[in-house]
């Protein structure tokens, strides 16, 4: 028997594989015996005819000899063929079954007994079918695993065929570009000349290209796209893998940083310029004007306190941002904090005839919070309510256990307290509300500055609330007033009945 080889070692194997197997050489004696068996019916028939004197015995002998030679030829040819088929099937099925066929004598015996080669062939075929089915199952499992790995890659991946059309894509690509791009050219993914040029170049010349593209549909996206050629083994043509890396967030943060630096510089430049101007005036024309000294020094003091407030707010913001990923876990009683802040703000409020009312559920459980930060939230909201409230109006601080949360909020806590600050001011036009918590965003910049605002108060509130895994909502009606509500996790409530206490 020839030594067995694996499929991969037979690059020229045909499907039958018969060509590559050299048949087992059958000994002449065995071929003769096989021929005898096959020509036996002819011998019997000739014997009977001879017994009936229908032919001469030597004619019959001659005819039988011819039939024996033909039978030997047929036996030899069919055995070789069957043997080659069987060995091929066994090899493809990975069978190490004993090769009975390797013994030509045995095979002939089997033919003689009416069993053997055909039965072995059937068994080998069964093994082949089983092995093929097993391999198909393994391949399917492997394919499913690869598809699931590729689908779980968060970056969109697109596979382009040799014609530059989308042949397959992962889940991220389907979510981002939609299934409609299937079978389409790269121009249907993004109409960016640089991308199309890079795609064509890679398909034509191989290698890889990287381009940065922007898509607006209608949301703005920025992608770094790498196109990598995948060589085709059969011919010269190439397919390509297109990998999209989302840079939108990185670019947004970069532009925020640039805007932030520009804003801080701008906020500091005005008071610094004012100070500079007054120092020059005091040294020059107003050197001996004592009245002017008094007025100018007061303005200079206002400008320095404005810069101090700005720097203090910037530092608070940076401190909160640094700690934002760890949620606070102290127990904080809200009432004493609110009473303390109300007392501190009363003088300023009273100057404009504003009254501060406290409506805090006496059974409100402790907040799970950081006391200083909750103080800062209340202080910023209270200061704004007084600043933007009308003269002789009421500012109300309410706190209770949240009975239901707005659908838009995704709070994980079991129990939540709501703390709201309402004023009776001019209200905020609807289009400004989503942007109020951005740093330095103001509805009326001049008015905010005039009132000593830094434009950072609500940004600080937003970051503190988000550190507490809470939420902030803003309701406002132009001409009626605004309510800022924060949702903060709290302990389980004993009673949730609300009572009203007015202060001031």
Residues making contact with ligand ADP (CB under 6 A): 380, 384-385, 388, 423, 425, 428, 436, 442-444, 448, 453-459, 482
CB neighbour list of residue 71: distance below 8 Å, 6 or more residues apart: 34, 35, 36, 38, 39, 42
Nearer to ligand ADP, 164 or 455 (CB): 455
Neighbour tally for 360: CB within 10 Å: 21
Q: Residue 446 Cβ, how far from ligand ADP at the closest point, in Å?
A: 10
CB of 23 within 8 A of CB of 84? yes
Nearer to ligand ADP, 354 or 436 (CB): 436
For residues 372 and 270, give the distance between their C-alpha atoms in angstroms, rounded to a whole number: 31
Kindly state the DSSP code that residue 471 receives in the 8-state scheme.
E
Which residues are bridge partners to 222 per DSSP?
Answer: 214
Kindly state the DSSP code that residue 331 receives in the 8-state scheme.
E
First to last CA, the chain: 109
Nearer to ligand ADP, 298 or 444 (CB): 444
Nearer to ligand ADP, 456 or 465 (CB): 456
Kindly state the DSSP code that residue 403 receives in the 8-state scheme.
S
Alpha-helix residue ranges (DSSP H) falling in 233-353: 248-283, 290-322, 334-351
Q: Residue 442 Cβ, how far from ligand ADP at the closest point, in Å?
A: 3
> Phi and psi (nearest 5°) for 305?
-70, -30
> What angle (nearest 5°) sits at the alpha carbon of residue 441, between those of residues 435 and 447?
125
| Burial class of residue 51 (count of CB atoms within 10 Å of its CB; 0-12, 13-18, 19+) | exposed
Q: Residue 437 Cβ, how far from ligand ADP at the closest point, in Å?
A: 7
Nearer to ligand ADP, 34 or 453 (CB): 453
Nearer to ligand ADP, 199 or 457 (CB): 457
**What is the β-pairing status of strands 394-401 and 355-360?**
parallel
Q: Residue 461 Cβ, how far from ligand ADP at the closest point, in Å?
A: 8
Q: Residue 392 Cβ, how far from ligand ADP at the closest point, in Å?
A: 16
Alpha-helix residue ranges (DSSP H) falling in 93-116: 104-113
Q: Residue 169 Cβ, how far from ligand ADP at the closest point, in Å?
A: 44
Nearer to ligand ADP, 117 or 426 (CB): 426
Q: Residue 187 Cβ, how far from ligand ADP at the closest point, in Å?
A: 44
Nearer to ligand ADP, 76 or 306 (CB): 306
Question: Among 473, 494, 490, 495, which residue's Cα sits nearest to residue 417?
Answer: 490
Q: Residue 475 Cβ, how far from ligand ADP at the closest point, in Å?
A: 11
For residues 87 and 153, give the distance between their C-alpha atoms in angstroms, rounded to a whole number: 45
């Amino acid at each position: 028997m020839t030594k067995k080889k694996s499929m991969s070692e037979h690059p020229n194997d045909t499907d039958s594989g018969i060509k590559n197997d050299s048949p087992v050489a059958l000994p002449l004696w065995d071929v003769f015996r096989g021929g005898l068996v096959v020509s036996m019916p002819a011998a019997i028939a000739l014997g009977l005819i001879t017994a009936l004197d229908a032919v001469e015995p030597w004619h019959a002998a001659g005819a039988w000899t011819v039939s024996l030679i033909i039978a030997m030829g047929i036996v030899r040819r069919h055995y070789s063929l069957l043997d080659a088929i069987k060995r091929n099937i066994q090899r493809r099925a990975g069978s190490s079954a004993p090769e009975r066929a390797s013994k030509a004598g045995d095979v002939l015996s089997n033919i003689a007994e009416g069993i053997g080669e055909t039965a072995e062939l059937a068994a080998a075929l069964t093994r082949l079918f089983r092995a093929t089915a097993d391999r198909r199952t393994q391949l399917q499992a492997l394919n499913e695993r690869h598809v699931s790995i590729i689908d779980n890659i968060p970056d969109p991946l697109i596979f382009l065929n040799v014609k530059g059309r989308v042949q397959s894509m992962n889940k991220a690509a389907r979510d981002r570009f939609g299934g409609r791009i299937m079978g389409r050219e790269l121009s249907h993914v993004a109409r960016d000349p640089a991308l199309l040029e890079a795609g064509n170049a890679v398909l034509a010349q191989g290698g890889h290209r990287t381009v940065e593209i922007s898509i607006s549909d209608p949301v703005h996206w920025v992608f770094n796209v790498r196109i990598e050629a995948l060589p085709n083994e059969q011919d010269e043509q190439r397919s390509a893998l297109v990998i999209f890396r989302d840079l939108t967030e990185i670019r947004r943060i970069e532009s925020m940083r640039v805007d932030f630096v520009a804003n801080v510089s701008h906020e500091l430049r005005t008071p610094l310029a004012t100070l500079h101007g007054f120092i020059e005036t005091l040294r020059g024309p107003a050197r001996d004007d004592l009245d002017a000294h008094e007025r100018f020094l007061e303005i200079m003091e206002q400008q320095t306190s404005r810069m101090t407030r700005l720097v203090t707010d910037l530092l608070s913001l940076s401190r909160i941002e640094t700690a934002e990923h760890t949620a606070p876990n102290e127990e904080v009683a809200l009432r004493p904090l609110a009473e303390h802040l109300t007392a501190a703000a009363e003088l300023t409020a009273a100057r404009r005839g504003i009254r501060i009312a406290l409506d805090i559920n006496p059974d409100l459980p402790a907040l799970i919070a950081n006391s200083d930060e909750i103080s800062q939230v209340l202080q910023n909201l209270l200061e704004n309510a007084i600043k933007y409230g009308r003269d002789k109006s009421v500012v109300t601080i309410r706190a209770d256990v949240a009975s239901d949360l707005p659908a838009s909020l995704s709070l994980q806590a079991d129990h939540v307290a709501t703390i709201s600050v309402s004023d009776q001011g001019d209200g905020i036009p609807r289009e400004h509300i989503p942007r109020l918590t951005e740093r330095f965003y103001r509805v009326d910049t001049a008015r905010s500055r005039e009132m000593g605002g830094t434009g950072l108060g609500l940004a600080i509130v937003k970051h503190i609330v988000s550190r507490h895994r809470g939420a902030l909502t803003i309701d406002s009606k132009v001409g009626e007033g605004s309510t800022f509500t924060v949702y903060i996790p709290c302990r389980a409530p004993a009673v949730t009945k609300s009572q009203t206490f007015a202060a001031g």
